[in-house]
Structure 1
Amino acid sequence: MSTPENPAQPQPQDSAETGVWERLERAAEASPAVSAEAPRSPAEHPQTQGEPASSVGEEPRVFTGSTSAVRRIPTVGIFTLRELMFLITSAAVVLLSFAPVISIRQVRVSYTLWDLQFVPMPIAVGILPLVALLLVLLRRLVPRINWRVGTLSVDQFASITAVIASVSYIVFIGSYALLTAPGQLTWTLPFAAMFSLLMLFSSTFAPYLPLYRTEFAERGEVPADPTARPVIPIARRPRPQGAWGPHPAEGTAYPAGYAPAAAAPAPTHVAPYWVYSFSPRPVYAPDGSAVLFEMGPTAWVLAVEDRGHSLVLRADDGRIGILYDLSNLTRG
């Protein structure tokens, strides 16, 4: 057994003790180097500043978004600032629809939009904004349900509602200002039109405004509804193109000055139809030997076959005959 360099160090008795002492010596030599290192700044630390360290046995969490971008979205309680503005303006539009819009001072009579019996206005400025308001509320209060109106999302329906309400108020004010006497329109209409325009800025124009743009930029991507996806392109069918150029003639060759006799017209077979005659006409037997019956102005007769120059008729009793006189015949 070799003698250690330090005589003051106790002598190990076996190889197991020797291994323990060697490990202790290496740990003692490494401890000054660790203590001599300066503590790293938070910027040099690989862990993100402000993010709690994961405990032992805990799976690392992956953060896909930008923390600074999420913090820039202005919120008020459980709603974003844009949603709160839409709720306030849509509620104001709904409430102002019940306020008088026309006042006739001479007879002291006032009319609301619901009293004018003009159906599109209450729907445009009363019912639709109320439905959009409720959908925005329910989307935050009951988030586990995917609230939609058909194929429209809540924001799409709110945007359409704002456009309809603002256009309806502008058209209503312009038309009634021309049709009614001055002073009959009340203050309700300008205020309601202003709130409908604010609805427009908090829904339709919101993705383009710097104050609300971040809310839409931070949303995740989801597959579009099948009805909102691009349409399938329709392949054009190739058009038949005629062959131009010389090609062999078809048919029978005849000598010069010879004209073949015209062939008899082929019988035309069509579906049965009714015929009528204003005067009595004889209907002959199929062999042409005798007259079977007459068709006349008293009733219609069923034609079961059209041979071009004649008709095969069937009487009510089932007899079959041929009509050769086809002039001035009414066909039904």
Structure 2
Amino acid sequence: MTDDVHGEFDADEVFTADEVGAGDEIADAEPAVPPQHGVGPFSIREVVLGGIWLLAFVFSFFPTYAALGVVGPSVWTGGIDWILAIALPTAAVFLLALRRLSPDGIRRVGSLGVDQFASVAFSVAAVYWISLAWRLVAALPGGYVGTTWVAWVETVLALGGVVFTVFAPLLPVFGEDFRHRPESLAHPNARPLRPISPRPAAPRPVFEADATQTAAHEPVVVEEQAPAPQAFWALAPEPRDVLDESGAPLFQIGPDAWALVIEDRGEVFVVRHEDGRLGYLHDVSGLTRG
């Protein structure tokens, strides 16, 4: 009867407890990140940006001005315009290439990431070349000094750079550069703004009569002053994170050195780092006061 009910049974299909547990772990695991293909070590977007920059760099040596048939200078010999026109995109493309070839190299410019800096660089270059091309349109009726075809070509190339930097996350294929990136802590300059607290009100004077000056009846000003918080040194038995106002780790204190606590707020200590930064220690249990 047992064979009739359950049918044929293969002993090789018996699963062990470890195999069942492994199957549960696989089911609970996060979906794998799909591979991103490109050209060599670079993504397709980075290769396109490199090609746009190369063409813009070559055309930048051609004259940008013409006056009554006489060819004028290029953008490299017209003051410091070359910084906005071609130097910023050059720096952006260099940083994009350096990020791929040396992941531990420069990752940001000030508070801007490399992709953010590239967006700003190509946007600035696009504004410059658009304004230069507009001068050509304005100079056509008079026939005086005007820009050459270089301004139009550079405008198209700069706008292409804007598309593949500013609007790249919206594009179907080129947006893969920005998807499935690992999460990381933001640079201090790129973190959310600290809330602005109102300044404390100035202490109001309290007037008390002086017994020695009863006949002139002049008041004596007595200022109320709140007691200043007493700072002290504290030693943690193990490394503990000191957080900023947004809850992100700022620095650590531990058993190797004493930490300066400038204010005791009960369940939270205000700790000052040796470089002047202030943070909040939420785990205040087991601290040794000095």
TM score, norm. by length of structure 1: 0.50
Work out the CA distance in 2 between the residues paired with 1:63 and 1:169: 50
Work out the CA distance in 1 between the residues paired with 2:98 and 2:200: 53
Alignment check: 8 A CA contact 1:101 1:185 kept: yes
Aligned to 1:206: 168
| Per-residue deviation, 1:192 | 0.6
Q: CA RMSD, aligned part only?
A: 3.6
Q: 1:165 to 1:63 in 2, by over 3 A?
A: farther
Q: 1:241 to 1:196 in 2, by over 3 A?
A: same
**Residue 173 (str. 1) matches residue 139 (str. 2):** no
Work out the CA distance in 1 between the residues paired with 2:185 and 2:13: 52
**Residue 131 (str. 1) matches residue 97 (str. 2):** no
Aligned to 1:271: none
Match of 1:93 among 52, 56, 78: 56
Work out the CA distance in 2 between the residues paired with 1:65 and 1:105: 65
Q: 1:63 to 1:139 in 2, by over 3 A?
A: farther
| Per-residue deviation, 1:210 | 2.9
Instruction: List gaps (5 residues or longer) in structure 1.
Output: 1-31, 39-45, 48-59, 254-259, 261-332
| Per-residue deviation, 1:132 | 1.1
Alignment check: 8 A CA contact 1:103 1:186 kept: yes
| Per-residue deviation, 1:190 | 0.9
**Residue 156 (str. 1) matches residue 122 (str. 2):** no
**Residue 143 (str. 1) matches residue 103 (str. 2):** yes
Aligned to 1:66: 32
**Residue 103 (str. 1) matches residue 66 (str. 2):** yes
Aligned to 1:8: none
| Per-residue deviation, 1:66 | 3.3
Aligned residues: 196
| Per-residue deviation, 1:75 | 2.1
Work out the CA distance in 1 between the residues paired with 2:29 and 2:74: 53
Work out the CA distance in 2 between the residues paired with 1:190 and 1:63: 52
Aligned to 2:147: 185
Alignment check: 8 A CA contact 2:126 2:158 kept: yes
Aligned to 1:215: 177
Alignment check: 8 A CA contact 1:91 1:133 kept: no
Counterpart of 1:137, as a letter, is: A
Counterpart of 1:109, as a letter, is: V
Counterpart of 1:79, as a letter, is: F
Point out the structure with max Rg over C-alpha: 1
Work out the CA distance in 1 between the residues paired with 2:58 and 2:183: 36
SS at match of 1:79: coil
Q: 1:230 to 1:37 in 2, by over 3 A?
A: closer
SS at match of 2:76: coil
SS at match of 2:9: helix
Q: 1:63 to 1:134 in 2, by over 3 A?
A: farther
| Per-residue deviation, 1:141 | 1.6
SS at match of 1:103: strand
Work out the CA distance in 2 between the residues paired with 1:148 and 1:249: 64
Match of 1:80 among 43, 52, 61: 43
Alignment check: 8 A CA contact 1:94 1:125 kept: no
After superposition, residues 106-121 of structure 1 pair within 5 angstroms as 106=69, 108-117=70-79, 119=80, 121=81
| Per-residue deviation, 1:207 | 1.8
Match of 2:157 among 192, 195, 202: 195
Give aligned-pair identity as a percent.
Answer: 30
| Per-residue deviation, 1:133 | 1.4
Q: 1:194 to 1:63 in 2, by over 3 A?
A: farther
Of 81-90 and 141-150, more deviation after overlay is shown by: 141-150
Counterpart of 2:121, as a letter, is: T
1:93-134 C-alpha deviation (Å, 9 max, x unpaired): 22221112223454x4332112333x2x20012211111111
Work out the CA distance in 2 between the residues paired with 1:36 and 1:149: 60
